[in-house]
């Protein structure tokens, strides 16, 4: 991964730091992939690969139909990241240009809907390997940016909330803090998850459970994040009852002894106004967790 040099597509001054957009040739995906990075003040002048000046880094996984730009444009997170000295990284939500027949026919499957799994079913298995892509991107960021490998957190929204919880639970040695906004917390139980997992992973539901945060937590014999997990959920979210199942994840955490702060907010829906309202809390939560 050290040999991969991402191509800088654009950069913009932002709260004293720099907002950048990159592209690189992803070995995991087999196609060029885009990602965005916010570097807080002074970070752009730090030499990658040295110990001096390394900063905590947070990966944000976006939801259905989003791109690497969505969070950086809509969430308003850079102000707090600049204050705290935290790097923000957002990948795309699926391969682009894979050439799979029908991949753009549905908004909740295919393009913009990779669900952060490694597909095993044809024709998706060649390029739709978003789980491996996120781990690959983590290594690229650590190699090319002044990011501290001991202070890496992950969070996300909706499909990305599912991805963040799942990736963290499967890789607690790689991601040291985790939170989510309105996550698809039990994808094996909901229509979005069943459609995606069935298409990408096939009929064997044992394979599905390996990508389900509630199932992973239910099978945990100890608290993987003893300092706690933060989840925010709007009670006016139209997807809450049918698609999200935060109560299932809450119960799995209770049984595993995993500390969880599940905050339920009256009047808030599933969109970015909700995220804007509470994103500062999440950045400060991660900053405290990462030390």
For the annotated catalytic residues, the residue numbers are 158, 237, 270
* Among the listed residues 249, 130, 271, 251, the one whose alpha carbon sits nearest the alpha carbon of residue 197: 130
Read out DSSP for 190-247? SHHHHHHHHHHH-S-HHHHHTT-HHHHHHT-SS-S-TT-EEEEEETT-TTIIIII-HH
State the virtual CA torsion across 175, 178, 181, 184 in degrees, nearest 10: 70
Are residues 35 and 60 in contact, defined by beta-carbon separation less than 8 angstroms?
no
Question: What 3 state SS string does 8-38 have?
Answer: EEEEEEECCEEEEEEEEEECCCCEEEEEEEE
Tell the burial category of 176 from Cβ atoms under 10 Å away from its Cβ (0-12, 13-18, 19+). Answer: buried
How far apart are the C-alpha atoms of 51 and 147, rounded to whole Å?
Answer: 9
Any bridge partners for residue 155, and if so which?
Answer: 60, 179
Running DSSP on this structure, what letter comes out for residue 262? E
Q: In the block, which residue shows the tokens 């499909």?
A: 159
């Amino acid at each position: 991964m050290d040999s991969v040099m991402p191509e800088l597509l654009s950069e913009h001054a932002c709260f004293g730091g720099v907002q950048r957009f990159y592209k690189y040739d992803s070995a995991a995906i087999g196609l060029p992939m885009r990602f965005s990075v916010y570097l807080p003040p002074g970070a752009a002048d730090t030499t990658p690969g040295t110990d001096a000046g390394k900063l905590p880094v947070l990966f944000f996984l976006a939801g259905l139909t989003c791109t690497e730009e969505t969070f950086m444009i809509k969430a308003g997170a850079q102000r707090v990241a600049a204050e705290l000295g935290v790097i923000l990284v957002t990948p795309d939500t699926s391969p682009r240009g894979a050439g799979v027949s029908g991949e753009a026919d549905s908004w909740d499957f295919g393009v913009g809907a990779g669900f952060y799994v490694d597909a095993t079913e044809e024709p998706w298995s060649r390029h739709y390997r978003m789980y491996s892509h996120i781990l690959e991107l983590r290594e690229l960021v650590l190699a090319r940016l002044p990011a501290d490998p001991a202070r890496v957190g992950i969070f996300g929204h909706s499909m990305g909330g599912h991805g963040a919880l799942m990736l963290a639970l499967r890789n607690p040695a790689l991601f040291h803090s985790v939170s989510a906004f309105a996550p698809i917390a039990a994808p094996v139980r909901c229509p979005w998850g069943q459609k995606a997992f069935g298409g990408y992973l096939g009929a064997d539901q044992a394979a599905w459970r390996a990508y389900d945060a509630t199932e992973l937590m239910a099978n945990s014999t100890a608290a993987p994040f003893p300092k706690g997990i933060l989840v925010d959920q709007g009670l006016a979210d139209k997807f809450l009852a049918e698609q999200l199942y935060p109560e299932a994840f809450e119960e799995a955490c209770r049984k595993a002894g995993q500390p969880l702060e599940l905050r339920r907010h009256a009047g808030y829906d599933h969109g970015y106004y909700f995220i804007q309202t509470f994103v500062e809390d999440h950045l400060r939560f991660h900053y405290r967790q990462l030390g």
